[in-house]
Amino acid sequence: DGKGGKPLGNVQLLGKIDGNMLRANVKLAPKFALDFMAGHAVDWYLMCEDLPDPESRIMVDGKDIVMQWRRSNMQSLEGLTKVMRENFRACGYPIVLSRPFDKRTPSHQCGTVRMGDDPGSSPLDPFCRAYDHQNLFVVDGGFLPTSAAVNPALSIAAQALRVADHIRKTELSA
């Protein structure tokens, strides 16, 4: 938070938006005004850790896939937004707009089948093997309890390589 408190999240540049992208959220604004605003904006992405919530889940309902997501850690997002708003204004940005993403823009989903040392609280062992199905390994983002407000792609790839090496040494060496 810049004042010695807990980290609030991370800030990165977002790809350049345009008037059409803004129109999705501001349907009544004239296109020329949205194009002008987008052309004079710098787009930032503030991301906080979405803490695990057992009520957040992906379910199948007939032929539909349903994402039930509960926001978490909003205090950190509000704190990060406040700090960055102050910093942007101090840098000379006269207008600072913000809008949190909703479940239409999910990213870095993880934690659906977490790994851990205790089969009572984690379906996977530390090598991503299912405790109750010995021939099942899960090496996508599901094994991570959280993405810690960063892109977990390299962590997922590293764990997949680690698990593959483990499988090669323990399961295929006979």
Residue 3 lies in a domain: no
For residues 15 and 84, state if they share a domain.
Answer: yes
Our count of domains for the chain comes to: 2
Is 70 exceeded by the pLDDT of residue 174?
no
> pLDDT tens digits for 75-117?
888 999 999 999 999 999 988 888 877 777 767 778 778 899 9
As a whole number of angstroms, the distance between CA 58 and CA 69 comes to 8
Is 70 exceeded by the pLDDT of residue 119?
yes
CA-wise closest residue to 52 among 141, 145, 117: 145
> pLDDT tens digits for 145-155?
877 777 888 99
For residues 86 and 121, state if they share a domain.
Answer: no
> pLDDT tens digits for 23-57?
888 889 999 999 999 999 998 988 888 777 778 87
Exposure b/e, 98-133, CB count within 10 A at least 16 = b: eeeeeeeeeebbbbebbbeeeeeebbbbebbbbeee
Residue 96 lies in a domain: no
Domain extent, residue 53, equals 10-90
